[in-house]
Amino acid sequence: MNRNEADKAVSPSAPSLLSMEIGSDGWCLQAQRHPSSNCDPRAADVVVDLLVIHNISLPPGQFGGHYIEDLFANRLDFKADPYFQQLQSLRVSAHFLIRRDGMLLQFVPTVARAWHAGVSCFAGRERCNDFSIGIELEGTDFIPFDPAQYRTLALLTGALRTRHPLTTVVGHEHVAPGRKTDPGPFFDWDDYRKLCIANAKASTGAGCAGMALRFHGDASTTPKTDA
């Protein structure tokens, strides 16, 4: 297999990719693996039922490059950009990153806790890292996300629901209000929801994994469902 073929094998932007799979070890078979040490085990009895959507760009507003991976791997060159100075004490990660072109990268297996939500609370439950999966979209609060990112996100959501009993999708802004604003006003919750429904119907002929998935839109405090 040459380099171009290898890239297509792990890139959700490849036209032939119609589904994804999360293995029993918590790694997505279609993702590029970049293991991060910024994680720890989940409690044995925890139920992973929350999906948290973020956005990230390093430096802010600039896309591409390796700085996000470097941050999650604790090897960021803090001299590469003035903004990076404030990140020196940060130890963070997410389970997944979706690039602007739809490329999927994974840093932490879903069976482990990634350090993505920080001080957070959902439905009266604090420490959302304990029971959630975090997905970073390469982007900012100020411009739309790329259609390729929504396609990958919807495919990944379906795969995650096959492996984990997810019931709700929220933004970082919803579990850390006043502290976080992502994925921001340009994230199209309705488009994302419709893609999830379409994918589920195409693969099973029914609704997503047999139960409604609640989507917390940025304009409403009442999550929409897929049914």
pLDDT tens readout for residues 212-221: 799 985 333 3
pLDDT tens readout for residues 11-22: 444 434 678 999
Q: Picking from 18-22, 53-57, 79-83, 216-220, which range would have the lowest pLDDT averaged per residue?
A: 216-220
What is the model's pLDDT at position 5? 36
Among residues 67, 115, 120, 121, which one has the least CA distance to residue 92? 115
pLDDT class of 71 with cuts at 50, 70, 90? very high
Instruction: Mark whether 21 is an active-site residue.
Output: no
Torsion of CA 145, 129, 39, 169, to 10 degrees: -30
Active-site option among 21, 136, 138, 173? 136
Percentage of the residues of the chain whose pLDDT score is greater than 70:
84
pLDDT reading at 227 higher than 60: no
- Which alpha helices (DSSP H) does the chain contain, by range? 3-10, 67-72, 147-163, 172-175, 189-204
Superfamily of domain 3-57+88-225: Peptidoglycan recognition protein-like (3.40.80.10)
The pTM assigned to this predicted structure is 0.88
- Collapse the DSSP code of 200 into the 3-class scheme (helix H, G, I; strand E, B; otherwise coil) and give the result: helix
| Region 171-180 average pLDDT | 97
pLDDT tens readout for residues 146-158: 999 999 999 999 9
**Distance between CA 44 and CA 145 in Å, rounded?**
36
Torsion of CA 17, 224, 218, 193, to 10 degrees: 10
Residue 96 dihedral angles phi and psi, to the nearest 5°: -135, 155
**Distance between CA 91 and CA 39 in Å, rounded?**
9
Pair of tokens at residue 119: 């001080």
**Distance between CA 18 and CA 4 in Å, rounded?**
19
